[in-house]
Chains A and B, each alone.
Chain A
Amino acid sequence: MPGMAEWKLEGTNDERQEFKYVGTWDHPGRQSWDMTSGAAKYPTDLYREGQLYAMCLRSPYGHAKIKKLDISEAEKIEGVKLILTYEDEEIAAMPKYIPSYFTFGQSPLLGTEAEFEGDEVGCVVVAETEEICKKALDYVKVDWEVLPFILDCREAGKPGAPILRPEMNPDSNMTGNTFGAAVKWENGNVEEGFKEADYIETIEYGRPMWSQFRSMPAAYFSYWDDDPWGNPDGEKMCYVTNHAHFPSNGPLVSAFQGMGLHEDKVRALSPYMASRYCDFVEKRGAQLSPVLSKRLGGVPVKMVNTRRQAFDAAVPETYFTIRIGFKEDGTLCAVHCKNVHQSGARGGYGDKTHGHLVLPPNAQAFKSTSCPNIYSEMEYYVTNGACTTADPGKDMWEPVNLTFAKIADTLGMDITDVIMKNVIITQPSLEACMEAGKKAFHWDEKWHLAGKKVLPDGRLHGVAARACWSMTWGMISYNINLRLNTDGKVYMPYSEALIGTYWPDAVQLVIAEEMGMKPEDVIVYYAANYPNWQKGDAADRASTCTWAAKEAAILLKNRVLSAIYMYVGAASPEEADIVDSMLTLKADPSVQIPLVGLGQFGEGFCGKPSVPFQSDVVRTMNVDFCEVAVDPETGLVEILDYTAAHDFGKVIRPASAMGQLEMALTMASGRALREEIIWDPNTGVLLNGNMYDYKVPTALDQPPMDNVAVETRCGGGAYGSTGVAHAHTNAGLVGCAIQNATGGDFITMQPFTPDRVLAALGKIKKEG
């Protein structure tokens, strides 16, 4: 199989077969106690003596420019402490690009042009209360120039469309992408491939903007005070709340880079920032709140956003047109894939200063099929439809899975057979997932030809399956610092905020495994003021982080044994061991002494495995299965069963690994059936930016799940582990199951709402 021959587990002890702690349950997360009791403090919880509030002026228009701004009346309001405008020299001088690898979206921190409704522009008010902030903003006189806006990326690409960001691209609304992925590429010869095909079909597929909104509406709390460990030349310490995961580290980076500070003079106040789902969107408060506090003498300033104002972390819209050629036996032989993608109001994903586009949906995943002839053409367009974030799932697999569903439906084949016939390079992972998933889902009892099964209650029954990569993300190195203290415990600090993946707790198990320590004697702890220490984070990268932790633990164990082996009467380090946090003699395990008081030893490891970041060489797969019931009278869809068979490579911490699956499938079900950001096409105003009108799944909506962990040891993380959540938040599978139920056309636009289902059943007219 291509690619497999060169690959092997790398690093020390990666082929370990016996595990005492890794892969076991009942290890409560270190932060779980406080998160449950409410002792954990999130930015919205913080309140401090003398605290002030800050809010930005926001655009009421879909696209507009400030011609004139008058803050004189607002400044007179009692309780207003400070108003800064776009003309303020310090704000105007703050870097536009932070961190430096965000290469698009050249918006100023506080500019005059609002690129979507609700965009923060013009001025920021600091006052004693939120109410005074709102009142002051009402008194700011703004002379707006309303500009043409575009919400649909397909419109942005049409000839003659208004150029929305001429400073980025004066000729069109098209933007680039972060990693420089080719806009057009071809493998083989597509036209020749179509000549070989027995069937040629066309697939249309569209996805709206979804809100990725973090559970906590963004709030940025900052103040300045003395550094308790030293104030060289009187420098102050900037205390800020932490928001972004991933190396950008959000406000921390913004604070020290934006204001010319060194990183040691910025301290995060709390490891808690609530959820992020590969979401990098920050509001302006991330960078403004430290500045506002500083300008007021260091008093605490909390910059707040309502839910409505923090609804713009949006998953971008995407439209595909795919022409496929396949043979009588279901073998794919030609793909012509074109997609139009929205890159958001900032020309990428990220906040108003950041623009960033990572691997949007495209035909990349077809490279994991045996199809030799693939043509891909991508277009990314800036719009006025809010800031966009990363694509939630491995969107490259949506067109592939729709292709398989189309082949299966056309030929009357079982879609799992079509998957197995066409997907390559991922064995044994795909086969293992398919077998485990089919068994858990009872696929063989449930599958039928499209439109052929009616449930006793009159609803139409349908099932579908889809495959995807289980990716290991490891684009950054991991910086692990371990210390065996004189108290006999191993310590590892980290400085990254938490988003719910439990990666520190997974790391704890790996260190315990390799060191021979009990898990409770391995303390992986949050150290707010150590920016040089580990900032590992998201679910997928957690596996890579555990790999680096493993390397560090092995180094430390060797160092410790080299120094203290003689205490148990061993003649060399090789004759001694650490078992259950005790120094022992291999030849006589009854000889044990505690590690307490034997010295202090440290080791560090900074690096990462040569994991497959590029998505065309991923070796671990997953297969999801979905069963639906469709009411032919109302078009209402109920998900009866949703099962993921995920190849984790090696499960490190089962509770959180399976939790990530539950999160992703629940999110996918919401996106499939009801989630959609709706903008007024006449005004560009967001219509459903609240939790009543934008419907996320509740406890009653969560589909039944019977997920299965597959372990092939084929990943790039510790012991061959790999990532989780990115792979499952694609909504297309539900649509394929609906088509299997109705026997009609595939619904070409998500979400699969009752009106679209009824249209597919021919009971009402199709949209558009």
Chain B
Amino acid sequence: MAQIPRREFLKAGTAALAGATLSALGLGSITASAEDGAAEKQVFVYTCPVCGKQFADFEQLRGHFTTKHKELDLPKTVTFSINEAEYDVFVEDHWTLREALIRAIGLTGNAKQMCDRGGCGSCTVLIDGKPALSCTTLAVECAGKHIETSEGIAADPEYRPLLEAYVRNDTAQCGYCTPAQFTMAKYILNKYDFAPTEEQIRLELSGNICRCGTYARHVKAIMEAAAEMKGGQ
């Protein structure tokens, strides 16, 4: 276990540091600003499941793996259909969808985990249109299924009224549970034909815990969006 003494470390030239930039952390918005009125699409980055190195396309990643990690078996390749696009992704068999979202896909809106597992709803995605907990769904199970995340819904012009209603009503306080509740909001709108009642919304959101107590704001935002979107249909 190599260790670098503090004094030496603080000087230049002694540390071999990773070269990734801040942008690799995903800082910045994929929804652009309110004035833009439309969201930007996120550029997909292919990430090595062993060392985390990132590539612009899957073939580069495959080439990297077969040369740099040739002692290891090639991981399973899963084709994810996420937010209207398809990606080939290396995943380990034991990875949950949540792990894949963080480590291989880079979409972390629905990769929150307030509880230890399955108790808070903060990781809720839509799989083939139905809510599912990404922390208790294996990534390999998702092959060939359509996954929707908060990033995709926010970028969908059709759901712009929902996004606007959410930010207009301060539905987020600390914001940690908000993307999953926002994802549930799309499900609720569709399930109840864009005319849900308060009781229906509260029932559907009852598996999504918000420690900041923002529930009433979600009810209001969903009903406002429903009114606007129903009228537009």
Q: Which residues of A contact B (CB under 8 A)?
A: 26, 28-29, 31-42, 44-51, 75, 80-83, 90, 213-217, 223-226, 231, 233-236, 259, 269-270, 272-277, 294-300, 306-308, 498-502, 520, 655-656, 659, 662-667, 690-692, 696-700, 702, 705
Contacts and interface: CB of A to CB of B under 8 A. Distances in A.
Contact of A215 (B2, B35, B177): B177
Interface string B87-107: 000000000000000110011
Given A29-B170, A49-B53, A236 B114 contact: no
Contact of B25 (A41, A216, A226): A41
Nearest to B179: A38
A297 B9 contact: yes
A663 B173 contact: yes
B20 A49 contact: yes
Contacts of B173: 275, 499-501, 659, 663
B116 A690 contact: yes
Given A82-B1, A296-B3, A297-B4, A37 B18 contact: no
Nearest to B171: A36
Contacts, number: 270
A274 B175 contact: yes
A296 B27 CA distance: 25
Interface stretch (B66-74, B146-154, B189-197): B146-154
Interface of B: 1-4, 6, 9-13, 15-18, 20, 22, 24-35, 39, 47, 51-54, 102-103, 106-116, 119-120, 122, 149-151, 153-155, 163-164, 166-179, 182, 201-203, 205-219
Contacts of B177: 215
Main secondary structure of the interface of B (DSSP, over half): loop
A270 B27 contact: yes
Count chain B CB atoms within 10 A of each CB in A35, A226, A273 and give the residue with the most. Answer: A35
Contact of A298 (B9, B150, B151, B163): B9
Contacts of B115: 307, 690-691
B103 A47 contact: yes
B108 A35 contact: no
The 3 closest A-B pairs by CB, nearest first: A38-B109, A666-B213, A500-B173
Given A36-B172, A82-B3, A226-B17, A231 B12 contact: yes
Contacts of B3: 82, 295-296
A37 B174 contact: no
Nearest to B163: A36
Contacts of B219: 699
B116 A307 contact: yes
Nearest to A31: B175
Contact of B211 (A41, A80, A214, A502): A214
Contacts of B10: 234-236
- If over half of A's interface residues share one DSSP class (helix, strand or loop), that class is named, otherwise mixed; here it is loop
A50 B176 contact: no
A38 B167 contact: no
B119 A690 contact: yes
Contacts of B110: 38
B1 A80 contact: yes
A274 B174 contact: yes
A32 B151 contact: no
B184 to A, nearest CB: 10
A37 B170 contact: no
B206 A665 contact: no
A42 B114 CA distance: 12
A44 B172 contact: no
A35 B27 contact: no
23 contacts: A26-B168, A32-B172, A36-B171, A36-B172, A37-B29, A37-B150, A37-B155, A41-B27, A42-B112, A214-B174, A214-B211, A223-B17, A224-B9, A233-B11, A234-B11, A234-B13, A235-B11, A275-B212, A295-B3, A307-B115, A690-B115, A691-B209, A698-B209
B211 A696 contact: yes
A300 B12 CA distance: 18
A39 B119 contact: no
Given A216-B112, A275-B174, A663 B206 contact: no
Nearest to B116: A307
Contacts of B22: 269
Nearest to B120: A691
B122 to A, nearest CB: 8
A664 B213 CA distance: 8
A688 to B, nearest CB: 12
A297 B18 CA distance: 9
Given A44-B112, A231-B12, A36 B178 contact: yes
B170 A36 contact: no
Contact of A697 (B16, B35, B178, B213): B213
A666 B29 contact: no
Given A51-B52, A226-B17, A659-B214, A42 B176 contact: yes
